[in-house]
Amino acid sequence: MASTNDLKNGLVLNIDGQLWSVVEFQHVKPGKGPAFVRTKLKNVLSGKVVDKTFNAGVKVETASVDRSDMQYLYKDGNDYVFMDTKTYDQLNIPAETVGKVADYLLENQEAIVAQHDGTVLYVELPASVVLEISHTEPGLQGDRSSGGTKPATLETGAEIQVPLFLEQGTKVKVDTRDGSYLGRVS
């Protein structure tokens, strides 16, 4: 148990049997009336984001979430196999749990796997990864009608928008949160 005064970003709360991660919080002390804490919570399993207000000082139940550094090894049928970098234990994680992270996942890549009571909640990658463009159409010089971008397929199979001058075989930095192009890597 923790008090609403102890809330911080990333803390996982157990509310009505569901796990919610604190995305942001704000302590509010109005001129009259009691203080309260306004929070934005994200459901750990579904990704749904809700706003919730707590009275200041109220006890909230926290959930213990173990975050471990793991290395992605390979895909086995519908599962992704990860290895704990400390114990070398292997863990099969279903594709539904891995989710969109799979678009930016290469073999031997480091990731953080969060677990609660032995159940894998989610897989988290670094904020950006470097991937190679496996296919893209050549950009036509002077064609700026499309805002200067074109679709490109990455080595993982994911498709992102890149500037017209990039060619097949170029390594690019990609934001893993929204799939946006961050720059070229030499």
The reported pLDDT for the residue numbered 46 is 78
**pLDDT for 177:** 82
Q: What is the pLDDT of residue 51?
A: 93
* Ranges under pLDDT 70 in the chain: 139-147
Q: Which domains does the chain have, with CATH numbers?
A: 2-60 (2.30.30.30), 66-124 (2.40.50.140), 128-185 (2.40.50.140)
pLDDT at position 171 is 92
Around Cβ 96, how many Cβ atoms within 10 Å? 8
> What is the rounded CA–CA span in Å between residue 178 and residue 103?
11
Burial code (b: 16+ CB inside 10 Å, e: under 16) for 64-92 equals ebeebebbbeeeeeeebbbbeeeeeeebe
pLDDT digits 0-9 by tens, 58-109:
898 988 888 889 999 998 888 999 999 888 889 898 888 888 888 888 889 8
Q: What is the pLDDT of residue 119?
A: 81
Say what the pLDDT of residue 142 is.
Answer: 61
